[in-house]
Amino acid sequence: MSNDAIEQGLAKASDTKMVEVGRGVLAHTGQLLKDALFSDGTPAMLVADERTWAAAGERVNKELATAGVTVLDPMIFPGTPALYASYEHCVAIRETLTTNGARGVAIGSGTLNDLTKLASGELKRPYAVVGTAASMDGYTGFGAPMSQNGVKTTMPCPAPAAVVFDLDVAAKAPKVMTASGYGDLSAKIPGGADWILSDAIGIDPIDPLAWELVQGGVRDALSNPKELAAGQPDAYRGLVSGLLRSGLAMQVYRGTRPASGAEHYFSHIWELSHLGVELDPPLSHGFKVAIGTLAMSAFYERFLARDLTTLDVDEAVSKWAPWDVVETDIRNRFSGALADNAVKQTKVKYVDPEGLRKRLETFIGVWPELRTKVEAQLLPARELQSMLREAGAPAVPEDIGIDAKRVQETFPLAMYYRSRYTVLDVAREAGWFDSLVGEVFEAGGLWT
């Protein structure tokens, strides 16, 4: 994985110092991991499930031993039903690592990586991951989404010290996992546009390296959907690299802004309602993100069809809702602790009428050039829909068990859900939000 941006990313990443991607690299995993993590004689313990053990774990175990690393008995979870990211599993891994004094090596994708990541983080020990599926961008990301006492939260913990990814292994993974990774990576298109808008008014300045890590490879990574669906190993290089670059960008930036925008909040909200958890495997994050990505791509098209320079700022300011009205609307849409959080998050980005005037006038002053940048960042919604379909990812709401009305109802929730500034906020501040959402779902639109 030699690329100037990636090398710079590794140099500035907080945790990850070695990434190796390629065909046949599993044969070199022993020496790679020994050099990166086990040169001091600390033993290794692999954490896998029955499927990932068969896909790569047994080979990695053998290669580590051949390289002279002390390899302890692995922890192998059942392959069926799918392992869930429950904190009790993290505790089991942590207690075993505590007892045997080993460093963990996760063999798998999202859940196994997150469990080993958090267990290792709580012990303040570095760990490594050998990826088995191009299913998400969290391999090189910090933090671990975890379920505890019925609530899912992202718990802080360092990213892996080393990542090894054999493209031949990735190509043999279940196609649904590759499609999930493709959906997750597609989000970088509208997510990048959101960052451009936020940067333009000084809320979240773009970090050049973090931007290049994500956006410099994303179009290449998305360019071979049919080949990915067909399981051609060489086609996986771009997708795997794109996902790993995204995680490195989050380490460089120390936040998720480079990798996500409003499209991710659709997924988060549906996850909070337990959409698809009864399935085996459960409906993936990347599948829900794919529909959020298409929703936001369609919204951007309607937004860019209007000319912001013609906006009547006085009228927009006069119609700006005072905070108590906004808070009431939020509490009518959310309930309980989620409402409290949405109020807190939205308050961060809310401005008074004078602040709104300044924000809108700033946008209008730079809009011709800014609009060109945003348009260049995006892909047409129907083109992206076709690419997702070719990759085997969801392309219509029904593919994830919902309908267009559910997506439409999620738009205001996504706007309020987090403090991150996105095009949804620009539209609300301009007084266009409701009408633009309505336009997305008019006859002849993406899903009608």
**Confidence label for 6 from pLDDT (cuts 50, 70 and 90):** confident
Report DSSP letters for 141-207, one per residue.
-SSEEEEETTEEEEE--PPPSEEEEEHHHHHTS-HHHHHHHHHHHHTHHHHHHHHHHHHHTTSSPPP
For residue 280, the model assigns a pLDDT of 80
Residue spans of the domains in the chain: they are 4-173, 176-206+259-440
For residue 86, the model assigns a pLDDT of 87
For residue 431, the model assigns a pLDDT of 98
Inform me whether the pLDDT recorded for 140 exceeds 80: yes
Cβ neighbours of residue 313 under 8 Å, at least 6 residues apart?
Answer: 357, 360, 361, 364
| Residue linked to tokens 């991710």 | 264
| Residue linked to tokens 């990347």 | 286
Fold of 4-173: Rossmann fold (3.40.50)
Beta bridge partners of 147: 86, 152
Inform me whether the pLDDT recorded for 151 exceeds 60: no
User: What's the pTM value of the predicted model, to 2 decimals?
Assistant: 0.93
pLDDT by residue (tens digit) across 372-390? 999 999 999 999 999 999 9
CA distance 84 to 147: 8
Of 71-75, 153-157, 226-230, the least confident: 153-157
For residue 437, the model assigns a pLDDT of 98
Q: At residue 366, what is the residue type?
A: V
Fold of 176-206+259-440: Dehydroquinate synthase-like, alpha domain (1.20.1090)
- Mean pLDDT confidence for 13-35: 95
Inform me whether the pLDDT recorded for 422 exceeds 50: yes
Inform me whether the pLDDT recorded for 125 exceeds 50: yes
For residue 146, the model assigns a pLDDT of 84
CA distance 159 to 142: 4
pLDDT by residue (tens digit) across 170-179? 999 999 999 9
**Confidence label for 277 from pLDDT (cuts 50, 70 and 90):** confident
Inform me whether the pLDDT recorded for 55 exceeds 60: yes
Of 3-7, 55-59, 231-235, the least confident: 3-7
For residue 153, the model assigns a pLDDT of 75
Inform me whether the pLDDT recorded for 351 exceeds 70: yes
3 state DSSP class of 213: helix
- Mean pLDDT confidence for 349-364: 98
Inform me whether the pLDDT recorded for 38 exceeds 70: yes
For residue 201, the tally of other CB atoms under 10 A from its CB is 16
For residue 18, the tally of other CB atoms under 10 A from its CB is 17
Cβ neighbours of residue 369 under 8 Å, at least 6 residues apart?
Answer: none
Q: Across all residues in the chain, what is the average pLDDT? A: 95
Higher local confidence (pLDDT), 31 or 447: 31
For residue 176, the tally of other CB atoms under 10 A from its CB is 15
For residue 2, the model assigns a pLDDT of 44
Share of the chain above pLDDT 70, in %: 98
- Among residues 417, 271, 264, 268, the alpha carbon closest in space to that of 333 is found at 417
